[in-house]
Amino acid sequence: MSVAEGAGRVYAYETPALAPGAYSIDVRQTVSSPGQPDQQLTSSRPFHVKATDPYVLPPGLVHSFFPPRMRTVTATTLPHITLAGAVPWERPLSDVKRADGSAPYPWLALLVFTPDELMVPLSVTGSRTKPSATKTLSLTLDAVNSNMAGFCMKEKFPKDQASTDTANFIFVKGNTFRSYFERQEPAAEQVAPDLDRYRFLTYITDTGQITASDGNTETPIAPGQPTNKYSTIMGHRSRPFTGNIDGPQPVLAHLVSLEGLTSRVNWLATGEQNAIVALASLHSWTYTWEPNSANQSLQLFEGLKGNVGPLSIALPDPTPEEKPDGARAWMRGRLEEGYTIIRHRDLAGESTMALYRGPLCPRQARRVQIRPTMYGTDLQIIDMSAKILDVSYSVAWDLGRSLAGRDAKFSTALAALRRQLVIKAIVGARAGSGVSNAIAVDLVERVLGSLDTLFTNSEDGKLKGFPEDGNKRWQGTSGPSEAHGAFRGSGVMTQAKLRRNLVTCTRPWVLNAVAQLCKIPEEKKTEAEGSGQPPPPPAPIPCDIPVLPEVISWILTNLLSLRLVPALYLFPDPTVFRDEFIHTFLIDDTWVDAMVDGALSVGNAVGGIDDPVRDEIRGAINAYILSNPGGKVRIPSAGFVMRSALIESFPDVEITAVREKDSSDGGGEEIPMVYRRRHDDTIICMCARGISQTLADFSVSLKLPAHQQCFVLGQPATSEELTFGIRLESLINPDAQPPPEIKPGQVEQVKWRKEGIPIVTPDDMELPREAWNWQTGIMLPHAIVDAIIKVTDKKLGTAFKRLGTDSGSVYLATQLPDRQHSLVVPFKINATTNSRTRQLFPLLEEVTETTGPTQPAKLYVPVAVGSDPSGARPSLLTKKAFSLLFPDKNIPVQSSPPQTVVFVVKPATTAPTPPPGVTIKLVSIEFIIPVGSGSDDLLDEDAADPLARTTDRRMQWVAAAYRKSEGELAVRLKPRVPGKALPLTGLDASFMLTRATVNGVLGDRVEIRFEETYVEEKKKVAPKKYTVSGGWVVAKE
């Protein structure tokens, strides 16, 4: 029987459909035909079912174990090991009789020993091996079998089913062996080891999931598909109250074989002084018990709660003795941004150093304006502060091209797609010239097909048509053709013409094909539904461009999700990883764009300075991302890397990401995991963007899965008392009527005490007198199960979901786990105002857009325009700021290359008219520009300060830029003539900041403050000066 537990279902056992042995498949057929006698056909094929090796576990069979190797845990922790499949029941125990209605005996058990309970024999015949750290000896079976009397053996270890004649053995003291294999209930004299308790300590969990093709992630399954099943073997010993209870105690955990134990071991001999018993150990590790007096709370996630930080090298805080140093500050800033110094070889072959950062950024990356390129070296950026190359995007471009080139299927599909787009452009361009489509296609195919001779002919064939000597030109014998005549005189298909034809002829065709791909087919019921059979694969979606789905799918699945990016590119410096730490990161979309650009450049046979065919393919991918059919497009936005012993012990830890409830894009909904990889004690996870492919704040929760739990023996034990809690909710029959009257989370306490002290139970129930041995620390499983059944039956009555007599291990599987372990990590991306839909090269798409009416750019938003202290005098000037490269848009957020930012300062057309006889003149202006690394700062704090230059042709003003404070750059404008004020009529106080480095962080609330000094002149009245201060907001995008 089974019970649902979390996301999985727990079963007491699972016996194999076929026991190990020889079988045959016999097929009999009867062939009938009219007028002929029936013909009997038979066929037989033998096969053999192999069981797991009795002395060696195959690689990969051990899924996980707890406690972690060489770690310290609480004294009440019970160890366990998880194996893939139903391994504990694959080898039936022939020497033990199974009672009717009881669970089968497992052939594996997990035993825990202290170092002094295991012996290392002084001599074993024919062996000179040394013991391992867990006191195992690798010996031949003959070496152990030759000393049967010395190891309390009546029979030999069998060799007939072993793949090797060598095994790992441990040698257990006789009294320790007896404590593990004595009967749980008093009975007649015992004559053989008793294995009954081990049926309670092994169970199997069906996770209800199936491992994906990458071997790391798990996905929901369709009906009829096989699911992941894991068997768990629990240890039943915690730290006893003997010996030095105040110090740590190292222990050794061994997964031992029980096969043949009852018939092989001489039980009476184990009671003799200095008796030693040999057991075969299939897996072992060591850990340490905390003192009995220590805090007995497991606190699995407690150590990680305070260890959450960005994915960057841990730098010590600067000391007060350190003097401010520009170079030191620059280096610290780059390391905090995730950069590392690598060795780089330039085009001249010189070895130098360069900056590199992968796609995983510890904080929002500086926005860098890059464009599609024909060569990766075009994306190398010079850090103007230190004059060092930043090769991050260049490396990404080269990586994308390499990944695409090595995938023959994708590169072939991409080349075919390029060919079809070019043919469509040529055919469309010639549609009005009388040239048939067949002729145009024939011409293109003939020209492109002629390139095959370079790869198919012999060396002599490849030289056909080449000049015979250096004085002759190329020779060929091709005659005139209908296609050549049709195209003769039509002009050359230049790259500009090709681009125009791609836009006018090919683009509508491609977008229509994308629209076809985005149509979600209606789900139709099939005969397989409800029959337990897996459903048939979905029918392919019809598309006018058959290779387009393959290209889009490969880019989305392998590049935009970062699945194919090697770890060396993700983590160029492994020193960023800290033990027991969660490193958070954001995805640098520009890095990913550069990698995709390199991949799409494969197969370009046109040449030139740009690639218009690649631009159309990129546009198709962007259109597909915008449509997001069925929510299948999953592009990562952020994630984390966790390095902890917890991952090594619980590799299938449940990780769930949920959007913040106040998010406008699917708030409160679960975010799918795009990427999940694990290696030893490290796991990396990436979460998808919002439904509309925008950034969204979210939180990630981590908890233990159903098949990997942490088992504890009740509450902290004392030298006199053991308290065990029974959770009633997990044992309620959901169909019970009326439902039981219990409190949520109600736990019934049972207290066992040492011999001679009465037991404390709910309602003075009669329970077994002993459930735990204070001297050895070994739990008696049958006593715990009996207490669970009696207490639950008393409290729930008919609502108790009583299991069969063969399901005792399910009770322990649901009551022993300590489930109070979880962790929530919030991800605040600050994407509420700066998020935009994910597109490849989004800034480029905005700049090159030529269709549709031009929309006015929101260059600035006036806020709190200042006035004099009386509040009656407003500013008389209008102001706006923009980049010289993009005068009709907001300031580009890219930090490289440096920009020229223009500030236009002119008289306001809506300024109030001064009273008659009064003239207002401008004396000076000062602008305060924020400098820093935040979204509200404009300039980069680590870059050199820009220079200020006026743009007025009359040269009436002098501009100077200086640091007013650490986070402020001031630009002051004064008339060129000292002491002179300039009238507002025809005034132009515009200026520009040259070589200005924007900090690369998106933001639409960058406030630039100003302070204007005016003078009011009136005849026969002394001039009066006053100051107006305020600010306005500009945006970075």
Asked whether the predicted pLDDT for residue 219 surpasses 70, the reply is no
The distance of Cα 552 from the centroid of its chain, to the nearest Å, equals 22
- The string of pLDDT tens digits covering residues 687-719 is 888 766 777 778 888 888 777 788 888 765 666
* Contact (Cβ atoms closer than 8 angstroms) between residue 925 and residue 948: no
* Contact (Cβ atoms closer than 8 angstroms) between residue 695 and residue 637: yes
- Side-chain-side CA neighbours of 3 within 13 Å: the count stands at 24
Per-residue pLDDT, 443: 58
Across the range 257-273, mean pLDDT stands at 91
Per-residue pLDDT, 832: 45
* Phi/psi of residue 872, nearest 5 degrees: -105, -10
* Contact (Cβ atoms closer than 8 angstroms) between residue 641 and residue 648: no
254: tokens are: 């061994």
* Contact (Cβ atoms closer than 8 angstroms) between residue 717 and residue 238: yes
Name the region of 347 (left: φ>0; alpha: ψ -120 to 50; beta: rest): alpha
- Count of beta carbons in the 10 Å neighbourhood of residue 584: 21
- State the residue for tokens 């979309």: 589
- The string of pLDDT tens digits covering residues 1019-1032 is 878 888 899 998 88
pLDDT band for 460, please (50, 70, 90 cuts): low
> To 5 degrees, how large is the angle CA 742–CA 744–CA 750?
70
Distance CA 892, CA 546 (A): 38
Per-residue pLDDT, 414: 94
514-528, 579-593, 901-915: range with highest mean pLDDT: 579-593
* Contact (Cβ atoms closer than 8 angstroms) between residue 167 and residue 55: yes
Interhelix angle for 612-627 vs 408-429, to 10°?
110
Is the pTM higher than 0.85? The answer reads: no
Distance CA 733, CA 560 (A): 47
pLDDT band for 866, please (50, 70, 90 cuts): very low
* Phi/psi of residue 677, nearest 5 degrees: -135, 145
Q: DSSP code of 133?
A: T
Asked whether the predicted pLDDT for residue 403 surpasses 80, the reply is yes
Identify the bridge partners of residue 971 per DSSP, sorted by sequence position.
927, 961
- Of the given ranges (49-58, 136-145, 338-347, 518-527), which has the lowest mean pLDDT? 518-527
- The string of pLDDT tens digits covering residues 557-569 is 999 999 999 999 9
Identify the bridge partners of residue 994 per DSSP, sorted by sequence position.
947
CA-to-CA dists, residue 645 to 64, 570, 576, 642, angstroms: 11, 22, 17, 10
Closest CA to 553 of 537, 568, 540: 540
Distance CA 283, CA 253 (A): 8
Closest CA to 285 of 239, 248, 213, 235: 235
| DSSP per residue, 338-356 | T-EEEEEE-TTS-EEEEEE
- Of the given ranges (292-306, 869-883, 895-909, 921-935), which has the lowest mean pLDDT? 292-306
User: What percent of the chain is predicted at pLDDT more than 90?
Assistant: 26
616: tokens are: 């159309």
- Tell me the three-class secondary structure of 886-901, residue by residue: CCCCCECCECCCCEEE
* Phi/psi of residue 162, nearest 5 degrees: -85, 140
768: tokens are: 């077994």
State the sign of the Cα–Cα–Cα–Cα dihedral 286, 292, 295, 297. Answer: positive
pLDDT band for 345, please (50, 70, 90 cuts): confident
Per-residue pLDDT, 446: 63
Per-residue pLDDT, 1037: 75
Asked whether the predicted pLDDT for residue 620 surpasses 70, the reply is yes
How do 860-863 and 947-950 pair as beta strands? unpaired
Distance CA 182, CA 262 (A): 11
Asked whether the predicted pLDDT for residue 504 surpasses 50, the reply is yes
Per-residue pLDDT, 437: 57
Distance CA 485, CA 810 (A): 84
894: tokens are: 């890219």
* Contact (Cβ atoms closer than 8 angstroms) between residue 1034 and residue 1008: yes
- The string of pLDDT tens digits covering residues 669-683 is 777 888 888 888 899
Diameter of the chain measured on Cα atoms: 137
Q: Which residue has the higher pLDDT, 1035 or 867?
A: 1035
- Count of beta carbons in the 10 Å neighbourhood of residue 653: 22
What kind and span of H or E run contains 864?
none
CA-to-CA dists, residue 858 to 7, 892, 937, 1037, angstroms: 50, 13, 18, 11
- Of the given ranges (136-150, 169-183, 605-619), which has the lowest mean pLDDT? 605-619
Interhelix angle for 408-429 vs 392-406, to 10°?
90
Strands, DSSP E only, in 729-848? Answer: 747-753, 822-827
Domains of the chain: 50-236+253-285 (no CATH), 714-815 (no CATH), 857-1036 (2.60.40)
Closest CA to 254 of 278, 232, 285: 285
* Contact (Cβ atoms closer than 8 angstroms) between residue 1004 and residue 1036: yes
Per-residue pLDDT, 480: 45
Distance CA 724, CA 567 (A): 46
pLDDT band for 221, please (50, 70, 90 cuts): very low
- The string of pLDDT tens digits covering residues 877-887 is 999 899 888 88
- Of the given ranges (435-444, 479-488, 604-613, 939-948), which has the lowest mean pLDDT? 479-488
Distance CA 126, CA 146 (A): 10
State the sign of the Cα–Cα–Cα–Cα dihedral 265, 271, 275, 276. Answer: positive
Asked whether the predicted pLDDT for residue 80 surpasses 70, the reply is yes
